[in-house]
Amino acid sequence: MNSEELKRIAAEKAVSFVQPGMIIGLGTGSTTKYALLKISEKLKSGELHDITGIPTSGKTETLAKELGIPLTNLNRNPEIDLTIDGADEVDENLNLIKGGGGALLREKVVAQASKAEIIIVDETKISVNLGEKWAVPVEVLQFALEPERNFLSRLGGKPRLRLNGNGEPYVTDEENFILDTDFGTIENPAALAQKLEARAGIVEHGLFIGLASKVIVAKSEGVEILRKG
């Protein structure tokens, strides 16, 4: 099976945990697109009902509306039953690197407001340690771009300003820039996260520590579910 088929299988397995009446966090990215398609299909068939979604990005909001998924927001519904999202990298402790799609700030807000967070990936996203395959997206204020770039370099990272398809700085939904920062293999992601969170110019980072309830991994030989502990 190709990577898109694996993504679809993992996403549809995640949707099997959705129950009628739930408030659902809707992640961002190529994998969670398949989850939205499956939720829409189940709503139309009547298998699911009274589902309300909270999107983690403008792109997800647009797609959910096109698919007929009812939406709400965190100010009306501050507690989420279940969030389905993807990840760029997952370590053996279910810590994550997220933010390849540029929505890390809203994704983390939604994750922290969720009773459960299901992450869907294919087997290429699994690592022993974070940083083996993916740089850490660091969302920074436009005002603080150069000081935070220097700070990340002092921490041993190699920051690179994310650009859009036109070669201009990529701007997030919250009007910030992203520095994709290669730290190499990260032995202690919690300690690195703490250092990043101490900087006023860093709005958020893509290290998601202890937020995943389970990770659904689509492998060529089938689906594996990884759980905490």
Catalytic residues: 107
Q: What is the CA radius of gyration of the chain?
A: 17
| Alpha helix segments (H runs only) across 120-188 | 145-154
Q: Tell me if residue 79 falls in helix, strand or coil.
A: coil
Nearest to 24 by CA among 134, 114, 158, 132: 114
Cβ atoms of 159 and 201 within 8 Å: the answer is no
- 226 Cβ contact list (under 8 Å, min separation 6): 90, 94, 214, 215, 216, 217
Query: Which strand (E) or helix (H) includes residue 39?
Result: helix 32-45
- DSSP state letters, 122-136: EGGGB-SSTTSS-PE
Query: Which 8-state DSSP code applies to residue 152?
Result: H
